[in-house]
Amino acid sequence: MSVYWQLVFPLTFICKCTEFFFLTTLYCSNHLVLCMDEGVREGVLNTVPPPYRKAYEEKVVVLTSFSSYESDATLAQRGGFALLPQQFSSLLLPGLAQAKQAKDVPVPMRQGDWMTTVQVLILSTACLTKYLMDAHPEDHWDDA
């Protein structure tokens, strides 16, 4: 919980209930399904009928697959145009190299592992956010 106070998140986000995956939502509304690890990804893909599996393999991804989208220099940047707020970059930078190597979001088994999990989540979500911003033009929602 000591890391929680540094992140300044409302506690309600930390305690949010788990959402369940249903195959019908993959067909209907999800353009991207983010999984915490490869085991979960395979579990989701195993629910897809075999003739359609190939089409969904690009939609169902592990969150860490976005970790290399931004350079170390961009992630370390400070100031008004920085990708990360200072409290996030100060938590990420000491373990950036290790976080970039993670294939899955680690499950913390003891107190020391929490920081690794936080660093991987900061890196992955920051890079995912930047990817989504780059993938859509500024007027994307004007067409809706």
Note the pLDDT tens digit of each residue in 44-102: 899 888 988 888 898 899 999 999 999 999 998 887 778 888 888 889 999 999 999 99
State the amino acid at position 61 in one-letter form.
Answer: V
Rounded to two decimals, the pTM is 0.76
Instruction: Transcribe 31-93 into DSSP letters.
Output: S-EEESSHHHHHHHHTTS-HHHHHHHTTTEEEGGGGTTSS-HHHHH--STT-SS-HHHHHHHG
CB 34 within 8 A of CB 63: yes
Note the pLDDT tens digit of each residue in 34-43: 999 999 999 9
